[in-house]
């Protein structure tokens, strides 16, 4: 899935010119809404996200070049002003003042335009990365989310992209400007005095060596720091999301200790990184300004000997200081660039993840469900437990219109069957078919369109009641349809009693609702969805007796003429089923009606006697 970048102004001739040269210089690549994500490391990804903003990139480069040239022009001005002062020429001093004032104004205006351009460019690029990253996560299957902590993903979307924002808005501009001033300063030094420039060139390799050597260590430490940050954020997100359990069991102190230990580990890495970056800057500053001091000493002797004018020495020292300052800036920015490279590497790890569900090259079309849903010798193991099958050789068929109950002890594999039907996973062995068509010949979204699901724990989002119910629909339902679904689920009454009715925000994970109310939101979604097959995980389990009676009546209407598979815990649900599938230890051990299975005296009879809930007749 690839998203369009933010809208940009209509292309102009200048934009076309800049785009042509951007491609020639390989600054950016091609990208449109159909371009797939690139492969091959950080460079292709950076070009991919910069591609839509060629004009802004060239505008920024132009402004940075102007800024560097303007700063270097001060060296010429100093040379002529000092020489004029030594000759007591006041007229040229006045012109020199005018030159410096104009140059200062150019720098000021340039700074405004440059900062505006680079900041807005950075914000847009990082916004595109965040959207694309979130969009890519939406395409990944449950295998990925089962092995990845949500908090770490949030850290990559927010924290790592914030590091990139610093790179694009400031660090990159500083790096480019420093490079332009470095090479421009060296050129002007050559023009002024080749002898003094030779001395400077001897020192530059000494300055660049620690930048290269220590910079690699900084990059490695930065990656470790970002991983540690992701772990601490994941820990905080996990335990804050379960704060009621933490408080109930009195584990606040233990959680705080674990979180503090994570932070201590992170800060140890941060300390090492700070020392490395500081040492890098320290070495660069010492050698750079020692070089300037040596050049000043040698140049002063040349002025005394009459082989170099005072203005030329002043100009050369100015260029040397600009060069030394640029090297210092590059050493500081290099650490920031390594930090950004580490962040981008963590982001590209997500982009490199691919869905593991089998996606057919030419998907088959599937019409309305009209025959049967079939499991053929299905075996499945979760990715985190590959040696422990959750299902083993399970085979059954559910015909259209059948109401089938799925029973078994906890951990038997009942929920796994639901997950395979919804194609959150593919079987390790065997096949699942609908109307004779294997699931692997269909797109996952087409398979999921067959089902309406009411889980035992309803997912409620921090948005309005209306949007929460509409979450279960295909397309955009009308308010009337949403209200009708709520009435069927007996949710209309409590929703209208909320402060803003259907527009009331329900809070994160529906904290403003009771368990029964959250369940009725889930039921309303199922009514609104109107799919051919219903998957119910004891849909009325969390409701009070009165509401349950009403919803059971509504469910009977909903189930009429539909196929349903129900994970059942109540005897009334089981007794009304056309057929019962008994799962134990990942195997289908029994199959039949309630009476038939009781007569067998097997696993089902034992469960019925011990576990199934009898309703209070009163």
Domain endpoint, select from 352, 381, 416: 352
Q: How large is the average pLDDT for residues 246-268?
A: 76
Q: Are residues 209 and 71 in the same domain?
A: yes
Q: Are residues 330 and 381 in the same domain?
A: no
C-alpha 343/C-alpha 219 separation (Å) is 10
Whether pLDDT at 24 is above 60: no
Per-residue burial over 339-378, b if 16 or more Cβ lie within 10 Å, else e, is bbbbbbbbbbebbebeeebeeeeeeeebeebeeebbbbeb
Choose between 596 and 313: higher pLDDT.
Answer: 596
List of residues 6+ apart from 438 with CB closer than 8 A: 431, 432
> Band of the pLDDT at 274, cuts 50, 70, 90?
confident
* Residues 489 and 439 occupy one common structural domain: yes
Banded model confidence at residue 339, pLDDT cuts 50, 70, 90? confident
- Indicate whether 335 and 462 sit together in one domain: no
Rounded CA-CA distance 591/597 in Å is 7
Q: Would you say residue 90 lies in a domain? A: yes
CB atoms under 10 Å from CB of 539, counted, come to 28
Q: Are residues 431 and 343 in the same domain?
A: no
Residues 277 and 231 in one domain: yes
Q: Let me know whether 345 and 378 are in one domain.
A: no
User: Which pLDDT score, from 0 to 100, does residue 388 have?
Assistant: 84
- What pLDDT is attached to residue 43? 66
Most confident range, picked from 245-254, 309-318, 416-425, 562-571: 416-425
> pLDDT tens digits for 142-175?
888 877 777 778 878 887 888 788 777 777 778 8
CB 513 within 8 A of CB 460: yes
Do 46 and 148 lie in a common domain?
yes
Indicate whether 612 pLDDT > 70. Answer: no
Q: Please report which confidence band the pLDDT of residue 370 belongs to, taking 50, 70 and 90 as the band edges.
A: confident
Domain boundary among 322, 352, 382: 352
**Helical H runs in 504-566?**
515-529, 545-559
Give the pLDDT of residue 375. 92
Residue 253's pLDDT is 79
The C-alpha atoms of residue 241 and residue 510 are separated, in whole angstroms, by 12
pLDDT bracket for residue 52 (50, 70, 90): confident
Mean model confidence pLDDT for the chain:
76
Reported as a pLDDT band with limits 50, 70 and 90, residue 540 is low
With cut-offs at 50, 70 and 90, classify the pLDDT of residue 29. Answer: very low
Question: What is the per-residue pLDDT for 54?
Answer: 82
**CATH number of the CATH domain containing 66:** 1.20.1560.10
Q: Taking 80 as the threshold, does the pLDDT of residue 313 lie above it?
A: no
Share of the chain above pLDDT 90, in %: 3
> Does 5 reside within a domain?
no
User: Has residue 359 been placed in a domain?
Assistant: no
Residue 468 lies in a domain: yes
Higher-pLDDT residue of 543 and 299 is: 299
Report pLDDT for 379: 92
Question: pLDDT grade, residue 208 (50/70/90)?
Answer: low
**CA angle, 161 then 132 then 220, to 5°:** 35
Burial degree of 185 (CB within 10 A; 0-12, 13-18, 19+): buried
Q: Is residue 517 located within the same domain as residue 483?
A: yes
pLDDT of 56 over the 80 cut: yes
pLDDT greater at residue 410 or residue 17 = 410
Give the residues across from 406 on adjacent strands: 567, 581
CATH number of the structural domain spanning residue 386: 3.40.50.300
Count of structural domains, the chain: 2
Q: Which residues, other chains included, contact 295 with Cβ-Cβ below 8 Å and sequence gap of 6+? A: 196, 199, 200, 316, 317, 320
Higher pLDDT, 255 or 31: 255
Is pLDDT larger for residue 230 or for residue 432?
Answer: 432
Asked if pLDDT for residue 18 goes beyond 50, the answer is no
Give residue 51's domain range. Answer: 13-352
How far is it, in rounded angstroms, from Cα 316 to Cα 299? 9
Tell me the mean pLDDT in the region 481-504.
Answer: 84
- List strand residue ranges (DSSP E) for 247-389, in order: 372-380
- Report the number of secondary-structure helices (H) and strands (E) in the chain: 22, 10
Find the farthest-apart pair of alpha carbons in the chain and give their distance in angstroms, rounded: 120
* pLDDT of amino acid 34: 43
Task: For residue 362, tell me if it sits in a domain.
Answer: no
- Structure confidence by residue, pLDDT tens digits, 100-141: 788 888 888 888 888 888 888 888 888 888 888 888 888 887
Query: Quick one: the chain helix, strand, coil %, rounded to 5?
Result: 65, 10, 25
Residues 431 and 325 placed together within one structural domain of the fold: no
Is residue 8 included in any domain, yes or no? no
DSSP structure string for 452-475: EEE-SS----SSBHHHHHHTTSSS
585: in domain: yes
């Amino acid at each position: 899935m690839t998203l369009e970048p933010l809208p940009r102004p209509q292309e102009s001739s200048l934009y076309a010119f800049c785009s042509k040269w951007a491609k020639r210089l390989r600054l950016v690549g091609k990208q449109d809404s159909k371009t797939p994500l690139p492969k091959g490391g950080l460079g292709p990804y950076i070009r991919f996200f910069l591609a839509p903003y060629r004009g802004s990139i060239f505008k920024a480069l132009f402004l940075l070049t102007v800024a560097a040239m303007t700063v270097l022009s001060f060296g010429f001005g100093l040379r002529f002003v000092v020489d004029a002062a030594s000759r007591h020429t006041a007229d040229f001093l006045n012109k020199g003042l005018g030159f410096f004032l104009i140059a200062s104004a150019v720098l000021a205006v340039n700074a405004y335009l440059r900062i505006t351009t680079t900041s807005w460019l950075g914000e847009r690029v990082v916004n595109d990365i965040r959207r694309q990253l979130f969009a890519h996560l939406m395409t990944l299957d449950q295998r990925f989310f089962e092995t990845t902590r949500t908090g770490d993903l949030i850290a990559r979307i927010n924290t790592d992209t914030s590091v990139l924002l610093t790179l694009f808005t400031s660090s990159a501009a500083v790096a480019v400007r420093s490079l332009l001033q470095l090479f421009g300063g060296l050129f002007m030094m050559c023009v002024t005095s080749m002898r003094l420039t030779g001395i400077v060139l001897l020192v530059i390799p000494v300055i660049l060596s620690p930048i290269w050597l220590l910079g690699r260590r900084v990059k490695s430490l930065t990656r470790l720091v970002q991983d540690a940050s992701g772990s601490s954020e994941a820990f905080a997100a996990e335990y804050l999301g379960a704060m009621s359990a933490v408080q109930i069991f009195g584990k606040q102190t233990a959680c705080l200790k674990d979180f503090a230990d994570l932070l201590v580990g992170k800060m140890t890495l941060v300390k090492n990184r700070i020392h490395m970056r500081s040492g890098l800057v320290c070495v660069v500053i010492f050698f750079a300004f020692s070089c300037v001091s040596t050049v000043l000493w040698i140049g002063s002797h040349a002025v005394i000997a009459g082989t170099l004018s005072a203005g030329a020495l002043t100009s050369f020292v100015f260029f040397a200081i600009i060069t030394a300052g640029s090297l210092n800036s590059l050493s500081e920015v290099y650490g920031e660039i390594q930090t950004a490279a580490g962040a981008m590497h963590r982001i590209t790890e997500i982009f490199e993840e691919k869905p593991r569900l089998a996606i057919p090259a030419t998907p088959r079309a599937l019409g309305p469900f009209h025959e049967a849903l079939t499991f053929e010798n299905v075996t499945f193991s979760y990715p985190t437990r590959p040696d422990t099958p959750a299902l083993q050789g399970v085979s059954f068929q559910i015909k259209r219109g059948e109401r089938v109950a799925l029973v078994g002890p906890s951990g038997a594999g009942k929920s796994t069957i639901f997950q395979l039907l919804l194609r959150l996973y593919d079987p390790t062995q065997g096949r699942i078919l609908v109307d004779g068509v294997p699931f692997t010949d269909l797109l996952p979204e087409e398979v999921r369109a067959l089902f309406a699901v009411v889980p035992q724990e309803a997912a409620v989002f921090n948005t309005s009641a209306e949007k929460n119910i509409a979450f279960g629909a295909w397309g955009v339902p009308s308010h009337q349809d949403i209200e009708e679904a709520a009435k069927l689920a007996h949710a209309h009454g409590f929703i209208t009693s909320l402060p803003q009715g259907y527009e009331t925000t329900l809070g994160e994970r529906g904290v403003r609702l009771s368990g029964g109310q959250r369940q009725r939101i889930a039921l309303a979604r199922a009514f609104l969805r109107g799919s051919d097959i219903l998957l119910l995980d004891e849909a009325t389990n969390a409701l009070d007796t009165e509401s349950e009676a009403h919803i059971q009546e509504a469910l009977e209407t909903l189930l009429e003429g539909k196929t349903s598979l129900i994970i059942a815990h109540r005897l009334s649900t089981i007794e009304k089923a056309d057929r019962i599938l008994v799962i134990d230890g990942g195997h289908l051990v029994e199959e039949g009606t309630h009476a038939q299975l009781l007569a067998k005296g097997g696993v089902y009879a034992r469960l019925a006697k011990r576990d199934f809930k009898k309703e209070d007749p009163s």
